[in-house]
Amino acid sequence: MQEFPKSLFCTLRAVVRFVVLGGVVSVSVPASLGNAQIAPDMPNPIVAPNPLTRTLSIFRLNMQDKIAKAAEMMPESKYGYRPTKEVRSFGEIVTHIADISYYLCSNMKGEAPPPAAAGKTSKSEITAYLKASFEYCDGAYSGFTDAHLNEPADFWGHKTNRMFIMTQVGNHDALHYGNLVTYLRLNGLEPSGGWF
Would you give the distance in Å from CA 191 to the centre of its chain?
Answer: 14
Quote the number of domains for the chain. 1
CB atoms within 10 A of CB 52: 14
pLDDT in tens, 15-59: 445 444 444 444 444 444 444 455 555 666 666 688 899 999 999
Is residue 24 in some structural domain? Answer: no
At 151 the three-state DSSP class reads: coil
CB atoms within 10 A of CB 63: 22
pLDDT of residue 184: 96
Is residue 7 in some structural domain? Answer: no
Give CA–CA dist 115/110, Å, rounded: 15
Under 8 Å CB-to-CB from 170, ≥6 apart: which residues? 56, 59, 60, 63
Is residue 182 in some structural domain? Answer: yes
Is residue 176 in some structural domain? Answer: yes
Residue 75 domain boundaries: 51-186
CATH of the domain at 172: 1.20.120.450
User: Nearest CA to 144 among 130, 122, 163?
Assistant: 163
Is residue 74 in some structural domain? Answer: yes
Is residue 110 in some structural domain? Answer: yes
Is residue 161 in some structural domain? Answer: yes
Low-confidence ranges of the chain (pLDDT < 50): 4, 8-9, 11-12, 14-16, 18-36, 195
DSSP 8-71: HHHHHHHHHHHHHHHHHHHHHHHHHHHTS---TT---GGGSSSHHHHHHHHHHHHHHHHHHHHH
Give CA–CA dist 13/158, Å, rounded: 53
- pTM of the prediction? 0.76
Is residue 85 in some structural domain? Answer: yes
pLDDT in tens, 7-17: 544 544 544 45
pLDDT of residue 43: 63
At 1 the three-state DSSP class reads: coil
